[in-house]
Structure 1
Amino acid sequence: MQNRLFTFLVLMAGIFMRAQDCPAPVFPANGATNVPLDATIDWESVDGVPSYNITLGTTPGGDDILSTQFASGSSYVPPLGLPADTTIYVTITLFFFDKPNITCPSYSFTTEPLTTVPNCTQITNPLNNATDINPNTNISWSYVYAATGYNISLGTTPGGTDLLNNFDVGNTLTYNPTTDLPPETTIYVTVVPYNSLGTAMGCSYQQFTTRAESEIPDCTNIIYPLNGESNVPLSPNLEWFAVPDATGYIVTIGTSPTGTDILDGATFYTNSTPVVNFEPNKTFFITIVPFNDAGQAEGCTQTSFTTLLGCGPYLDFDTGEYVIINPDIDFPDSFSSCQNDGPLVISSTDIAEGFRWYQIDQFDDETLISSTSEVTITENGQYRYEAYNTISQNGNTIECPSSQIFEVVSSEMATIENIIAQPTVSSLRLSVIASGIGSYEYAIDNIDGPYSDSNVFNNVEPGSHTIYVRDKNGCGIAQKEFTQDLTVEGFPKFFTPNGDTINDYWQFIQPKGSEKVILQSIRIFDRYGKFLKEISQNSQGWDGNMAGRRLPSGEYWFLAIDNSNREIKGHFTLKR
């Protein structure tokens, strides 16, 4: 039974795999002949395919001409050209990151025969007449049409062969000298292509000059994520082994083996870097190349890793927007239950697929108390609110939560114990004394506020006022009427400077039956605090004039200082 089930699954997998269309060849066409040896192989692009592999061989599915290589887009240029007069089979593989690859049936074409010897080539690295070249450099050159191999000579004189004499490197475009080249020396390089009809004629040398001996750094190995690792977080900290003689590291990351869409040769001077906002459930390819003044490490291998299923943020390539699956929540960090009002009922207004409420005990253990958008709380303490959405990714359903820890405390309406008034030159300063277990704010003369956290009111006009104390947690507003007459004993409440000799002057009168008050000075101000007149206790008093000008009727203020430096403040009325 198990073998039958396995066979069935394999068949179904094969049917699924072939549900994806394979691309049709564009050039060369299937069955084409006399195809140029430097042909670019093109095929149709297939929707939904992130990348392609290509293999070339002399048999269907064979790789004796070209082993499996990643193609950039839907075309491939064989770097060494194609063999002449050969039937070549092309095998395209659809490469996927999140499901099995699909290998398409091979198709074939036949190349043209050789008719001539190849032309000469040009060295591409180092460039002709280049200076300051590392003595351990590789030497590279361009592909030449119809070449099947190359001979290379190296010398310290023009056309010389004292370092390497007509060495056959085969059908390759690079040569790595077995030993370092002489430092601070001009090196002459001659590369001669050949094929079965003969060698290129009249190829001239190119030259470059080496610098002083130095060592390029070795490659490094990645520490995290390891090659092939899966379930890597969406914002990992990439880390690799430090190379002692490296100045820095060139890091390239792409979503395909040839891609650079995440990091394109970024330079780092430490052996780690954080990377944010990787896409979930996707494979990434990373190459790290150490470098120093001598050059870059050579032959560093590429590694790959796959991220975990995630809630975001990640880039939606269809819209260009970053997607976050977690719900947005707007939730306070504290609630108050008013005493004697019964249980506290809290309802969430956030938009989410599901909700949970937890009570947190003194040991930070959590107990689930509700799985709806509403919770009833009967005691003070610490709680956690959680809202979540779900997402299905590759057959798995995961939750993406957002949460907020909050406190529940008791509160109550305030009791106004006292209102303390302190006269100033032209107004009152009121201090409100309130008691209760709540958190309170204060307003004067308007129940709707504005309210302030301060219990002090400055520049208050004398007279009747209403003080309001509001519980910030909604447990009520206390209020109290208050009247303050600022007239101080011994100082008249008014005077009438009209020339009738009755009450024409305002002056302090020693109260009868009380301890004698000795004043150092008496200063008079208008209602705006402007100083008008200073009189002494023994003078006739103030006649309501200033610099010979009669002042209008209204409220005036005084500030008296006694012989103990105590301030006595108040106000009086001038009537005409």
Structure 2
Amino acid sequence: MKKKWDYRIPQILAAPIFFIVLLFAVFKTSAQECPALVSPADGTTLVPVDATISWEAVTGVPGYIISLGTTEGGNDILNERNVGSATSFTPATGLPESTEIFITITLFFFNQPNIVCDSQRFTTAALSEVPNCSTSISPANNAFEINTATNISWNAAPSATGYFITIGTTQSGDEILVRTDVANTLSYNPTTELPTETDIYITIIPYNRIGSAVNCSSSVFTTAAAAVLPICTSMISPFNGETNVPLSPTLEWNAVPNATGYRVSIGTSPFEKNILEDAVFYRTSTLIIDFEPNRTFFISIYPFNEAGEAIGCTQETFSTLVGCGPYFDPLSGELLVLNPVLTFPDTITICLNNELDLITATDEADGFRWYKLDDRGNETLVSSSSEVMLDEEGLYIYEAYDIIEESDRIFECASSKTFQVFISETPVIENVAVKISSNLLNYEITTTTNGNFEYSLDNEYGPYQNSNRFTDIALQNHIVYVRDKAGCGITERFVELDLTMNGFPKFFTPNGDGINDFWQFIPPVETGENNISVIFIFDKFGALLAQVVPNTNGWSGNVNGKALPESNYWFKAIATNNKIIKGHFSLKR
């Protein structure tokens, strides 16, 4: 993938002049790869107009800027949308039909010029049917106490190229807004405030060149008494678009005169609130501790009062940088990151009642920290060395850091991950259920506790399998082994072949075809011994029907020359050691 260089953000850390000159010289011949489209792939045709666009992640690239247009490098559909570290984007109002779409991906960096990649393209399919109705409208259906200055918004309807909106005070009314084409937008701000304490009916009808959606139902909400909404605010510190922001900054925004509070959300992409979600503040500043370095953050602030919250407030961004990279290395032509690379696993299993559950770091670094997370996400430091003793299940954080000296300052470049600790123990076999099928055995093993176990048959050293079932095994005695995968122990059970499980057919078919016409005890294949002396057969009322002895064909299903009907019948067998075996079987015709 080719690329072009964008010098609009030449943020370079303090460095000697000769290094900067060399750095820019190497930029022109950098081997930095641009991402390929994953879906739709470059050159794809007949792409749905509501497709999600995704691309390969590029190692060391902290963010992406996306433009969409109908010409190479164009942005007439979407102009330079910063999506943070996300590797996918769904256009809110879809894409035009039967159109060649060009997507331009810009690699965003904190400490070097952005890289503008060559455009890739795909072609959308033609529309074939009218759109469906929108699935959600805001304010929500049957909502009440809605501010009279509310904005009206709705979800995109796939394949819609525009929307008609009608507003009235009755189910089919239009006295507030006669059916109006608002084009391909997903919101409408009434030109005048809505009447107070009134039921307001909203009808949204998506359309495209084929026609309009049908049977779209109205949504109704009730307005509140007259009140004045606050206006939007803006960031003071960091200011919108600021870079090189410290990791623990004080966020400050402009006060709004009639606001009683502010609802603040922060995320690592325009579509997330994974840092701070709808937190309410009654002041105009707050201290944030330990932002992640080298990331773009998206912040939304909505002032509110008793009338509601401000409408149409825009999202702002800022980026952190503390010197840990990624840097462009002119010698290798690659991006250099000073944070340790982590290989520590996502899960750790410790053995119950084992005093030697010592966990050791798997990575090279100058220092380490281990934290225990409680149910509320609070962290407790449990070790500051490369080893930690753990004896409780739960979530933990593993952190490895290198100490960096640069420009007369010392700082840490840290990498961390959350991992799960599980407690396991030596398995205890509760039962081995045995079933016979076609002179073969099936085992199902259950344990007293659930664990991460594996199973072997007749060999302690394996092979082991994850399934607790063994099928089609020989009619003989066996030993089953259950082993904890974390090495917490192994247990075994000898399963003796029970005579009651072998030799007595489950059914027979006395229909004269010469196959399975008699019911008789069948000696086990592995022994060939007939250790049954006599068998008595009964009906369901306990009446004796027949007596069967060895070395005969068995019972024919007749009594006194009369064929008995299909049913279940019972038997009592007496073994040569006087052991009594009871069971039942089916007669089928």
Q: TM-score, normalised by structure 1?
A: 0.51
Q: Kindly provide the CA deviation profile for residues 398-456 of structure 1, in whole angstroms up to 9, marking residues without a partner as x.
A: 2469xxxxxxxxxxxxxxxxxxxxxxxxxxxxxxxxxxxxxxxxxxxxxxxxxxxxxxx
Q: Give the % identical residues.
A: 53
Query: Is 1:224 aligned to residue 237 of structure 2?
Result: yes
Select the residue among 291, 299, 324 that pairs with 2:312: 299
Q: C-alpha distance in 1, partners of 2:211/2:244?
A: 56
Q: C-alpha distance in 2, partners of 1:100/1:165?
A: 51
Q: Kindly provide the CA deviation profile for residues 304-363 of structure 1, in whole angstroms up to 9, marking residues without a partner as x.
A: 44556479xx99895999xx999xxxxxxxxxxxxxxxxxxxxxxxxxxxxxxxxxxxxx
Q: C-alpha distance in 2, partners of 1:43/1:262?
A: 24
**How much has 1:9 moved relative to structure 2?**
6.5
Report the equivalent of 1:197: 210
Query: Is 1:181 aligned to residue 194 of structure 2?
Result: yes
The code of the aligned residue for 1:38 comes to: D
Pairs aligned (count): 330
Decide whether the 8 Å contact of 1:227 with 1:304 is kept in 2.
yes
Distance change >3 Å, CA 39–CA 233, structure 1 → 2:
closer
Decide whether the 8 Å contact of 1:279 with 1:315 is kept in 2.
no
Select the residue among 28, 31, 56 that pairs with 1:14: 28
Report the equivalent of 2:79: 67
Select the residue among 41, 51, 57 that pairs with 2:69: 57
Decide whether the 8 Å contact of 2:67 with 2:80 is kept in 1.
yes
- Output the aligned Cα RMSD: 3.6
Select the residue among 33, 41, 48 that pairs with 1:36: 48
Query: Is 1:243 aligned to residue 268 of structure 2?
Result: no
Report the equivalent of 1:46: 58
Q: C-alpha distance in 1, partners of 2:278/2:99?
A: 39
Query: Is 1:286 aligned to residue 299 of structure 2?
Result: yes
Report the equivalent of 1:25: 37
Decide whether the 8 Å contact of 2:86 with 2:269 is kept in 1.
no
Q: C-alpha distance in 2, partners of 1:299/1:325?
A: 48
Distance change >3 Å, CA 278–CA 317, structure 1 → 2:
farther
Which secondary structure state, in structure 2, belongs to the residue aligned with residue 199 of structure 1? coil
Q: C-alpha distance in 2, partners of 1:31/1:176?
A: 39
Q: C-alpha distance in 2, partners of 1:106/1:152?
A: 36
Q: Which structure exhibits the higher relative contact order, with contacts defined as CA atoms closer than 8 Å and separated by 6 or more residues?
A: 2
Q: C-alpha distance in 1, partners of 2:139/2:56?
A: 37
The code of the aligned residue for 1:14 comes to: K
Which secondary structure state, in structure 1, belongs to the residue aligned with residue 38 of structure 2? strand
The code of the aligned residue for 2:259 comes to: A
Q: TM-score, normalised by structure 2?
A: 0.50
Distance change >3 Å, CA 256–CA 151, structure 1 → 2:
closer
Q: C-alpha distance in 1, partners of 2:252/2:292?
A: 19
Q: C-alpha distance in 2, partners of 1:258/1:120?
A: 24
**How much has 1:69 moved relative to structure 2?**
1.9
Q: Kindly provide the CA deviation profile for residues 87-114 of structure 1, in whole angstroms up to 9, marking residues without a partner as x.
A: 1112122222333222221111111112
The code of the aligned residue for 2:70 comes to: T
The code of the aligned residue for 1:121 comes to: S
Select the residue among 391, 409, 429 that pairs with 1:398: 409
Report the equivalent of 1:206: 219
**How much has 1:241 moved relative to structure 2?**
2.5
Q: C-alpha distance in 2, partners of 1:65/1:225?
A: 30
**How much has 1:177 moved relative to structure 2?**
0.7
**How much has 1:155 moved relative to structure 2?**
0.7
Q: C-alpha distance in 2, partners of 1:300/1:325?
A: 45
Decide whether the 8 Å contact of 1:123 with 1:206 is kept in 2.
no
Q: Any gaps of 5 or more consecutive residues in structure 2?
A: 1-18, 325-337, 345-360, 368-401, 413-589
Query: Is 1:97 aligned to residue 110 of structure 2?
Result: yes
Query: Is 1:164 aligned to residue 177 of structure 2?
Result: yes
